Amino acid sequence: MKFYDCTTAPSPRRVRIFLAEKGIAVETQQIDLRSGEQFSDAFRAINPDCTVPVLTLDDGTVLSEVLAICQFLEEMHPEPPVMGRDSRERALVIMWNVKIEQQGLAAVAEVVRNQSKGFKSRALTGPQEFEQLPQLAERGMIRLELFFDRMDNQLSVNKYVAGDAFTLADITAFVALEFAAWLKVEIGENRKDLGRWFEEVRRRPALSK
Ligand SMILES: N[C@@H](CCC(=O)N[C@@H](CS)C(=O)NCC(=O)O)C(=O)O
Q: What pLDDT is recorded for position 74?
A: 98
What is the Å distance from ligand 1's center to 10 Cα?
8
User: If you measure from the C-alpha of residue 51 to the centroid of ligand 1, how many angstroms do you get, rounded to a whole number?
Assistant: 4
Q: Each residue of 147-193: pLDDT tens digit?
A: 999 999 999 999 999 999 999 999 999 999 999 998 999 999 999 99
Confidence at residue 208, expressed as pLDDT on a 0 to 100 scale: 87
Amino acid identity of residue 78, one-letter, is: P
Residue nearest atom 12 in ligand 1 by C-alpha distance: 51
To test the ligand 1 pocket, which listed residue (66, 105, 125, 178) has its Cβ within 8 A of the most ligand atoms?
A: 125
Give the pLDDT of residue 42: 98
Of 35, 26, 27, give the one whose Cα is nearest residue 8: 35
Residue 58 pLDDT > 90: yes
The rounded distance, in Å, linking the Cα atoms of 130 and 209 is 31
Q: What is the model's pLDDT at position 185?
A: 93
- pLDDT of 195 higher than 90: yes
For the stretch 73-124, pLDDT in tens is 999 999 999 999 999 999 999 999 999 999 999 999 999 999 999 999 999 9
CA of 199 to the centre of ligand 1 (A): 27
| Residues within a 6 A CB radius of ligand 1 | 9-11, 33, 38, 50-53, 65-66, 125
Query: Closest residue (by CA) to atom 17 of ligand 1?
Result: 125
Ligand 1: nearest atom to the Cα of 113: 16
Is the pLDDT at 209 greater than 90, yes or no?
A: no
- Residues forming beta bridges with residue 127, ordered by sequence position: none
Convert the pLDDT of each residue in 24-50 to its tens digit: 999 999 999 999 999 999 999 999 999
Q: What is the pLDDT of residue 56?
A: 98
User: What is the three-state SS of the chain?
Assistant: CEEEECCCCHHHHHHHHHHHHHCCCCEEEECCHHHCHHHCHHHHHHCCCCCCCEEECCCCCEECCHHHHHHHHHHHCCCCCCCCCCHHHHHHHHHHHHHHHHHHHHHHHHHHHHHCHHHCCECCCCCCCECCCHHHHHHHHHHHHHHHHHHHHHHHHCCECCECCCCHHHHHHHHHHHHHHHHCCCCCCCCHHHHHHHHHHCCCHHHHC
